[in-house]
Amino acid sequence: MSGAHEHVSVLLAEAIEALAIRSDGIYVDGTFGRGGHSRAVLARLGGEGRLIAFDRDPAAIAAGRAIDDRRLTLVHQPFSTLDAELERLGVGQVDGVLLDLGVSSPQLDDAARGMSFRFDAPLDMRMDTSRGQTVAQWLAEASVGQITEVLRDYGEERFAHAIAKAIATARTGGAVATTGQLAAIVEKAVRTREPGQHPATRSFQALRIFINQELEELTCALPACVARLRAGGRLVVISFHSLEDRIVKRFMRDESRPLVLPARLPVRAADLPPPRLVLVGRARRPGAGEVAANPRARSAVMRVAERSGVGA
């Protein structure tokens, strides 16, 4: 990282290579961010190519408007709306979809977004600041059981119940309204923590994933991505969290396997439709040099699949 709010696109060269870009193709960047991947796609496209870039963050869309390129269409929506938005734009099949999941550096590094315990700021965490409930608003109403479930399921937090009870106790004296308040509450409730990790890391991550419905968005979007890919089109997904990667891995694995029918059903294997996806290579991770230059890349995993000719 070379400056505040700068976002370094992870696995940039590898992702562009994996898309196997055709100069006249139509591509989707489901997470524009600050446009690192989008700019690289545009650099490979010819005059007839097209890129549709999604982002739910108004700041990302504002940054994208600085790109003066008729081939680029910006969409202020989460990528789960891909199917409906492509329909609205009159786009049928596409040649590739890239999803760079998780939170961007500008979102983490902007104190006002309330996503990091490094700053004391309003407890927001929404990726789209123009709509939806903030984390502070949700914590003010959620039960101990609900908070426990979120911290456990989205953050894999061992001390989820203790943290939830501490939050409930703290809010009797007033709203838990800032990142500093929440971090202090968690720090007191967590008895032990992995070396080098702040006690609030898992809780902040869990609440961000939950309030933005990140896993649900991904689960909804993946089938739509495959349905929109033309034969030979590529789906490239970069994840930064084990829960995200698990969803992607299982989806691609299941879509690349032959249909399994009940035993003794009188259907020949040769008559079954082939899988919709073909896996392309193994999962890719950043090299040591990229991680050294950009420590936030260390957890990244990229998976790639290609659309078969089935139903295309």
The whole-angstrom separation of Cα 172 and Cα 13 is 51
Q: Is 107 annotated as a binding residue?
A: yes
Q: Is 240 annotated as a binding residue?
A: no
Which residues in 184-213 are b (16+ Cβ under 10 Å) and which e? bbbbebbeebeeeebbbbbbbbbbbbbbbe
Q: Is 133 annotated as a binding residue?
A: no
Q: Is 7 annotated as a binding residue?
A: no
Q: Is 76 annotated as a binding residue?
A: no
Pairing of strands 26-29, 50-54: parallel
Q: Is 37 annotated as a binding residue?
A: yes
The whole-angstrom separation of Cα 62 and Cα 68 is 12
Q: Is 55 annotated as a binding residue?
A: yes
In the annotated binding site for S-adenosyl-L-methionine, the residues are 35-37, 55, 79, 100, 107
In the annotated binding site, the residues are 35-37, 55, 79, 100, 107
